[in-house]
Amino acid sequence: MAKLGFVGLGVMGSRMVNRLLNAGHTVTGYNRTRSKAQWLLDAGMHWGETPRAVAEVADVVFSMVTDTTALRAVIAGPDGLVAGLGPGKIYVDMSTVSPGESRELAARVAAKGAHMLDAPVSGSVSTLEQGKLSIMVGGDRTVFETIKPILEDIGPKVNHVGGNGQAVSMKIATNVSVAVQMLAFSEGVLLAEKSGIPRKTAVEVLLNSVIASPMLSYRGPFVLEMPGEAWFNAHMMQKDLLLALEMGRQLGVPLPATAVTNEVLTAARAMRLGDQDFAVVVEVLARLSGLNK
């Protein structure tokens, strides 16, 4: 098996590494806060002192961080991930950043003689742990085929969607629908609630109706009780919607529902709810409806 590296051991990244370890891979990891990765070290993961150190010992190195700023922090400089790349190595970025930023990074990686794929995911902690995560991949198809079995150890649904930057474009397009669905679902729940139907009953009926989707099946119940740890918080979702709105302007695609959802997420942050799962849009609308004060 190839020696693997992983930079960014947050909520999703750490669980991806756990799946790779369980599949028998050797993984060297790095995280800004080492203590958060202790459970993976206990499970057999090796530690790299810097992103560069991880890339130097790995044949295939992954990164998954929160945004463009965080990505630049782990790839740049003498201790950055790119500095540890060399001919024949493969770098897979699973972060969601702008397509243009991803393509620029791919060019820097190519200058080192290495190959880069962008491979964001669709799903949550729940779908990842259940082995149902979907991964979309952009970049050279031959390189993709080389590491597809490794990606399948993270999630079974792996699709090549085009060249560098096109997978993150697909991910942004996917999250537009996810966010808008959650807002529409919340509107329906609250409309039913204000008409006198208990919220729990409304949720049960809606999740057994024609509007139900895989995303709503696991996130819909959050309008009854939010998770203790956000699966994907409002800050992160707004970051993706802003990327979508930027793409829409560049490509001439109007995104009216995305724009409205983005404003509700702005309200969530103003209400100091930004660290909660983005399903907290229901709380924003409930307060505006006079239900939760």
At residue 287, what are phi and psi to the nearest 5 degrees? -65, -40
Among 70, 66, 46, smallest CA distance to 58 is for 46
**What is the chain's alpha carbon radius of gyration, rounded to the nearest angstrom?**
20
| Catalytic residue (one of 132, 171, 239, 293) | 171
What the block records as the tokens of 116 is: 């880069």
What the block records as the tokens of 293 is: 């004060």
Q: How many angstroms separate the CA atoms of 190 and 202, rounded?
A: 9
Q: How many angstroms separate the CA atoms of 216 and 15, rounded?
A: 22
> What amino acid is encoded at 280 in this protein?
V
């139907």: which residue's tokens? 197
Active site annotation includes 171: yes
CB 50 within 8 A of CB 30: yes
Helix 166-194 and helix 99-111: axis angle, to 10°?
Answer: 150
Active site residues: 171
